Copies of this chain bind each other. A is one copy, B any other.
Amino acid sequence: MPQTELSFTEENYLKAIYHLSVGGTQAVSTNAISDRLQTKPASASDMVKRLARKKLLQYEKYQGANISPEGIKLALKVIRKHRLWEVFLVEKLNFNWDEVHEIAEQLEHIRSPLLIRRLDEFLGFPKHDPHGDPIPDENGSVSTRPRKPLSDLHDGESGDFLAVKDTSSSFLQYLDKLDIQLGANIRVMEKVEFDDSMKICLNDKKELYISAQVASNLYVSKN
């Protein structure tokens, strides 16, 4: 029996815990959770207990939380909705990629399986959101494209710009200013030993310099 529906807050915590889990191998600390959600550790502690009671994660005092398969399933449902709505906002309502996150944070909690199916169809079953992140399918499968930070490339190597790591408005707007768009081919012309900044070439046309920090926040395809 699936328990009663999660509240918006529970969904937000679960999603945060999911995001903190992927990649990392150890349990997620309550501090990390409260940090991410802009709440206090005490609140995260309470919530983790609640989610554990609902079997969405394992939790032992002082040992952090481990999201369960059931928890992952629910988190991916919310993430699927978030990303589909982001596509809608950009593709259909002409929002810029730096404007959609806040609104999607709200829309991701709308409950209607049929709505999401129809939205998916309306959008042409997109595989990635405006930031290049994969959209989980109805069953919670996430397609992973092999990728690595641009900063890992060496002189002469190139890759396609697949996704951003940092999705902050300021970073996305800076990329706009530099005319660096998702899908562009990026070739490393020169990597500066001293500070890891690089000269890159976009689509074999436009050359520009970017800092190591920028480079580390751009994911490119592994060719």
Contact = CB atoms under 8 A, between A and B. Distances in A.
A101 to B, nearest CB: 12
A216 B110 CA distance: 34
Contacts of A40: none
Contact of A122 (B93, B107, B111): B93
A193 interface: no
Interface residues of A, number: 18
Nearest to A118: B93
A9 to B, nearest CB: 13
A95 interface: yes
Interface in A71-102: 89, 92-95, 99, 102
A106 interface: yes
A114 B99 CA distance: 10
Contacts of A93: 115, 118-119, 122
Contact of A103 (B95, B103, B106, B110): B110
Contact of A118 (B95, B102, B111, B118): B95
A144 interface: no
A127 B216 CA distance: 49
10 tightest A-B contacts by CB? A93-B118, A106-B110, A103-B112, A103-B115, A93-B122, A92-B122, A107-B110, A93-B119, A94-B118, A106-B111
